């Protein structure tokens, strides 16, 4: 038997807009691939993080925890972030997509 141990990594999402834009409401979709999970106790590959109200010239930092079992194989895994900015009308003003990699080694 092996104990149910996990490794935890913090992903910092930093968001800002130029001085001449905004304010906007901001949300971020996060997609991960196995063996990474957004939940400590089960597999969860998709989530949404509410970032908050972005004011012109200001930045907001939000932290997301990523988990993996200690017995996971080493390698690189993709993390996909999709950022949505909502205008005053509630409609999506801008959508930005970014893919990053996280590397695990023993």
In sequence order, what E strands does the chain have?
A: 6-16, 24-32, 46-54, 59-69, 75-86, 92-104
Considering the entire predicted model, what is its pTM? Answer: 0.84
> Within a domain: residue 31?
yes
> Within a domain: residue 26?
yes
Contacting residues for 14 by C-beta, under 8 A, at least 6 apart: 59, 60, 61
> Within a domain: residue 58?
yes
> Within a domain: residue 76?
yes
- Burial zone of 105 (CB within 10 Å; 0-12 exposed, 13-18 middle, 19+ buried): exposed
DSSP 1: -
Looking at residue 35, which CATH number applies to its domain?
2.60.40.10
The boundaries of the domain holding residue 93 are: 6-104
Check whether 2 has a pLDDT greater than 50. Answer: no
> Within a domain: residue 43?
yes
> Within a domain: residue 1?
no
DSSP 55-80: PTT-EEEEEEEEEEETTPPPEEEEEE
Report the domain count for the chain: 1
State pLDDT tens for residues 51-90.
999 999 899 999 999 998 766 667 888 999 999 999 999 9
> Within a domain: residue 34?
yes
- Residue 69 CA to chain centroid, in angstroms? 19
> Within a domain: residue 100?
yes
């Amino acid at each position: 038997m092996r104990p149910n141990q996990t490794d935890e990594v913090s992903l910092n999402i930093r968001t800002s807009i130029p001085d001449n834009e905004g304010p906007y409401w901001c949300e971020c979709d996060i997609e991960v691939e196995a063996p990474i999970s957004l939940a400590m106790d089960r597999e969860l590959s998709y989530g949404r993080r509410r970032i908050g109200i972005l004011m012109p010239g200001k930045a907001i930092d939000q932290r997301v925890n990523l988990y993996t079992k200690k017995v996971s194989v080493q390698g690189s895994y993709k993390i996909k972030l999709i950022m949505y900015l909502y205008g005053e009308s509630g409609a999506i003003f801008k959508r930005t997509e970014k893919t990053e990699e996280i590397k695990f080694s023993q």
